Amino acid sequence: MKLWLGLGLSVGLLALAAPVTAQERTHRLQDGRLLALAADTAPCGEPTPQDDARYAIVVNFQCRDAASGVGGDGFLAVGQAPGETTPRDYLAEIAAEYRPDLSAEVRDREIVAATFDLEGRESRFLCLSGSDLARDRAETTCVLDQPKTQVIVHGRSGNVEQAYGVVLMILFGVTIGEAPSQGR
Protein backbone atom coordinates (compact mmCIF):
# COMPACT_ATOMS: atom_id res chain seq x y z
CA MET A 1 0.00 0.00 0.00
CA LYS A 2 1.27 3.46 -0.80
CA LEU A 3 1.68 6.06 1.90
CA TRP A 4 -0.75 8.85 2.64
CA LEU A 5 -0.66 12.11 4.53
CA GLY A 6 -3.92 12.15 6.49
CA LEU A 7 -5.98 15.25 5.62
CA GLY A 8 -3.78 15.93 2.63
CA LEU A 9 -1.76 17.83 5.18
CA SER A 10 1.82 18.48 4.16
CA VAL A 11 3.07 18.83 7.69
CA GLY A 12 6.74 19.74 7.28
CA LEU A 13 8.86 18.22 9.99
CA LEU A 14 11.65 20.69 9.44
CA ALA A 15 9.59 23.69 10.48
CA LEU A 16 11.02 26.08 13.04
CA ALA A 17 10.57 24.71 16.54
CA ALA A 18 8.58 26.87 18.90
CA PRO A 19 6.95 25.94 22.16
CA VAL A 20 3.26 25.15 22.02
CA THR A 21 1.38 27.65 24.17
CA ALA A 22 -1.31 26.68 26.69
CA GLN A 23 -3.93 28.17 24.39
CA GLU A 24 -2.81 25.86 21.58
CA ARG A 25 -2.98 22.84 23.91
CA THR A 26 -6.77 22.67 24.41
CA HIS A 27 -9.83 22.68 22.19
CA ARG A 28 -13.53 22.02 22.73
CA LEU A 29 -14.68 19.25 20.35
CA GLN A 30 -17.97 19.05 18.42
CA ASP A 31 -19.48 16.76 21.06
CA GLY A 32 -18.60 19.16 23.88
CA ARG A 33 -15.65 17.21 25.25
CA LEU A 34 -12.38 19.02 25.88
CA LEU A 35 -9.20 17.74 24.17
CA ALA A 36 -5.97 18.72 25.90
CA LEU A 37 -2.35 18.15 24.93
CA ALA A 38 -0.19 17.64 28.05
CA ALA A 39 2.83 19.81 28.78
CA ASP A 40 4.90 16.61 29.06
CA THR A 41 4.61 14.74 25.76
CA ALA A 42 7.15 11.99 26.56
CA PRO A 43 7.96 9.57 24.92
CA CYS A 44 7.71 12.16 22.15
CA GLY A 45 9.86 15.26 22.09
CA GLU A 46 8.48 18.76 22.43
CA PRO A 47 5.73 19.16 19.81
CA THR A 48 6.49 21.44 16.87
CA PRO A 49 3.43 23.54 16.03
CA GLN A 50 2.40 24.29 12.46
CA ASP A 51 0.55 27.40 11.37
CA ASP A 52 -2.72 26.50 9.67
CA ALA A 53 -5.87 28.51 10.44
CA ARG A 54 -8.10 25.47 9.73
CA TYR A 55 -6.81 23.75 12.86
CA ALA A 56 -7.04 24.63 16.53
CA ILE A 57 -4.07 22.34 17.16
CA VAL A 58 -1.68 20.95 14.57
CA VAL A 59 1.67 19.75 15.87
CA ASN A 60 4.43 17.46 14.64
CA PHE A 61 6.20 14.96 16.88
CA GLN A 62 9.38 12.90 16.91
CA CYS A 63 8.77 9.90 19.17
CA ARG A 64 11.06 7.16 20.47
CA ASP A 65 10.46 4.40 22.99
CA ALA A 66 13.31 4.56 25.51
CA ALA A 67 13.37 0.81 26.17
CA SER A 68 13.25 -0.51 22.59
CA GLY A 69 14.62 2.47 20.68
CA VAL A 70 11.73 2.10 18.22
CA GLY A 71 10.14 5.30 17.04
CA GLY A 72 9.17 7.55 14.19
CA ASP A 73 7.42 10.80 13.46
CA GLY A 74 3.83 11.88 13.28
CA PHE A 75 1.31 14.59 13.96
CA LEU A 76 -1.85 15.50 15.84
CA ALA A 77 -4.38 17.66 13.98
CA VAL A 78 -7.52 19.04 15.64
CA GLY A 79 -9.84 20.99 13.36
CA GLN A 80 -11.25 24.33 14.48
CA ALA A 81 -14.61 22.86 13.44
CA PRO A 82 -15.71 19.40 12.33
CA GLY A 83 -14.88 18.39 8.77
CA GLU A 84 -17.37 17.56 6.05
CA THR A 85 -17.12 13.75 6.25
CA THR A 86 -17.53 11.07 8.88
CA PRO A 87 -14.32 9.49 10.20
CA ARG A 88 -15.11 6.23 8.34
CA ASP A 89 -15.76 8.07 5.07
CA TYR A 90 -12.58 10.11 5.54
CA LEU A 91 -10.48 6.95 5.97
CA ALA A 92 -12.33 5.22 3.11
CA GLU A 93 -11.36 8.12 0.81
CA ILE A 94 -7.70 7.69 1.79
CA ALA A 95 -7.89 3.93 1.24
CA ALA A 96 -9.55 4.40 -2.18
CA GLU A 97 -6.91 6.90 -3.28
CA TYR A 98 -4.03 4.62 -2.42
CA ARG A 99 -5.58 1.20 -3.03
CA PRO A 100 -7.83 1.61 -6.09
CA ASP A 101 -7.01 -2.00 -7.02
CA LEU A 102 -9.08 -3.27 -4.07
CA SER A 103 -12.86 -3.36 -3.88
CA ALA A 104 -14.61 -0.87 -1.57
CA GLU A 105 -15.65 -3.80 0.62
CA VAL A 106 -12.06 -4.97 1.09
CA ARG A 107 -10.81 -1.43 1.74
CA ASP A 108 -13.59 -0.92 4.30
CA ARG A 109 -12.41 -4.00 6.22
CA GLU A 110 -8.97 -2.37 6.54
CA ILE A 111 -10.53 0.36 8.72
CA VAL A 112 -10.53 -0.92 12.29
CA ALA A 113 -11.96 0.43 15.53
CA ALA A 114 -9.58 0.95 18.45
CA THR A 115 -10.34 2.18 21.95
CA PHE A 116 -7.57 4.09 23.69
CA ASP A 117 -7.36 4.94 27.39
CA LEU A 118 -6.53 8.64 27.47
CA GLU A 119 -5.79 9.52 31.09
CA GLY A 120 -8.42 7.17 32.47
CA ARG A 121 -11.11 7.94 29.91
CA GLU A 122 -11.72 5.66 26.96
CA SER A 123 -11.99 7.19 23.50
CA ARG A 124 -12.91 5.27 20.36
CA PHE A 125 -10.94 5.88 17.17
CA LEU A 126 -11.11 4.43 13.66
CA CYS A 127 -7.69 3.55 12.22
CA LEU A 128 -6.18 2.68 8.85
CA SER A 129 -2.62 1.43 8.34
CA GLY A 130 -0.54 0.79 5.25
CA SER A 131 3.03 0.31 4.14
CA ASP A 132 5.28 1.00 1.20
CA LEU A 133 7.69 -1.93 1.21
CA ALA A 134 9.90 -0.40 -1.49
CA ARG A 135 10.57 2.61 0.76
CA ASP A 136 10.65 0.61 4.03
CA ARG A 137 8.01 2.98 5.42
CA ALA A 138 4.60 2.50 7.00
CA GLU A 139 1.88 4.84 8.22
CA THR A 140 -1.12 4.68 10.52
CA THR A 141 -3.91 7.27 10.64
CA CYS A 142 -6.44 7.23 13.48
CA VAL A 143 -9.50 9.49 13.61
CA LEU A 144 -11.57 10.12 16.74
CA ASP A 145 -14.96 8.48 16.20
CA GLN A 146 -17.38 11.42 16.24
CA PRO A 147 -20.18 12.40 13.85
CA LYS A 148 -17.69 14.35 11.67
CA THR A 149 -13.90 14.16 11.29
CA GLN A 150 -12.16 16.58 13.66
CA VAL A 151 -9.26 14.83 15.46
CA ILE A 152 -6.58 13.02 13.45
CA VAL A 153 -3.45 11.30 14.78
CA HIS A 154 -0.89 10.09 12.27
CA GLY A 155 2.27 8.03 12.75
CA ARG A 156 5.09 7.03 10.38
CA SER A 157 7.84 4.47 10.95
CA GLY A 158 9.60 1.46 9.43
CA ASN A 159 6.65 -0.94 9.64
CA VAL A 160 2.93 -0.89 10.45
CA GLU A 161 3.40 -2.04 14.05
CA GLN A 162 5.91 0.74 14.71
CA ALA A 163 3.72 3.37 12.97
CA TYR A 164 0.82 2.32 15.19
CA GLY A 165 3.23 2.60 18.14
CA VAL A 166 3.96 6.22 17.17
CA VAL A 167 0.20 6.94 17.25
CA LEU A 168 0.08 5.43 20.76
CA MET A 169 3.07 7.51 21.87
CA ILE A 170 1.42 10.72 20.59
CA LEU A 171 -1.85 9.81 22.32
CA PHE A 172 0.06 9.29 25.58
CA GLY A 173 0.13 13.10 25.88
CA VAL A 174 -3.56 13.63 24.97
CA THR A 175 -6.64 13.69 27.18
CA ILE A 176 -10.24 13.95 26.05
CA GLY A 177 -12.42 14.97 28.97
CA GLU A 178 -16.11 14.57 29.47
CA ALA A 179 -18.57 17.07 28.08
CA PRO A 180 -19.77 19.63 30.62
CA SER A 181 -22.95 18.60 32.45
CA GLN A 182 -26.23 20.01 31.14
CA GLY A 183 -27.47 21.88 34.23
CA ARG A 184 -29.29 20.19 37.10
Query: Does 13 reside within a domain?
Result: no
- State which residues form the domain around 55: 25-176
Query: Does 8 reside within a domain?
Result: no
Query: Does 42 reside within a domain?
Result: yes
Query: Does 14 reside within a domain?
Result: no
Query: Does 63 reside within a domain?
Result: yes
Q: pTM of the prediction?
A: 0.84
Residue 17 in this model has a pLDDT that exceeds 60: no
Q: What is the pLDDT, as a whole number, of residue 179?
A: 63
Cα→Cα distances 19→16, 25, 38, 177, Å: 10, 11, 12, 23
Q: Give 68's pLDDT tier (boundaries 50, 70, 90).
A: confident
Sign of CA dihedral 129, 175, 50, 17: negative
Q: What is the pLDDT, as a whole number, of residue 172?
A: 92
Helix runs in 1-155, H state only: 87-98, 104-109
Query: Does 97 reside within a domain?
Result: yes
DSSP state of 79: E
List, for residues 21-34, the tens digit of each pLDDT value: 444 789 999 999 99
> CATH no. for residue 47?
2.60.120
Higher pLDDT, 36 or 119: 36
Query: Does 154 reside within a domain?
Result: yes
Residue 170 in this model has a pLDDT that exceeds 90: yes
Average pLDDT over residues 103-129: 93
Number of domains the chain contains? 1
Query: Does 159 reside within a domain?
Result: yes
Q: Give 119's pLDDT tier (boundaries 50, 70, 90).
A: confident
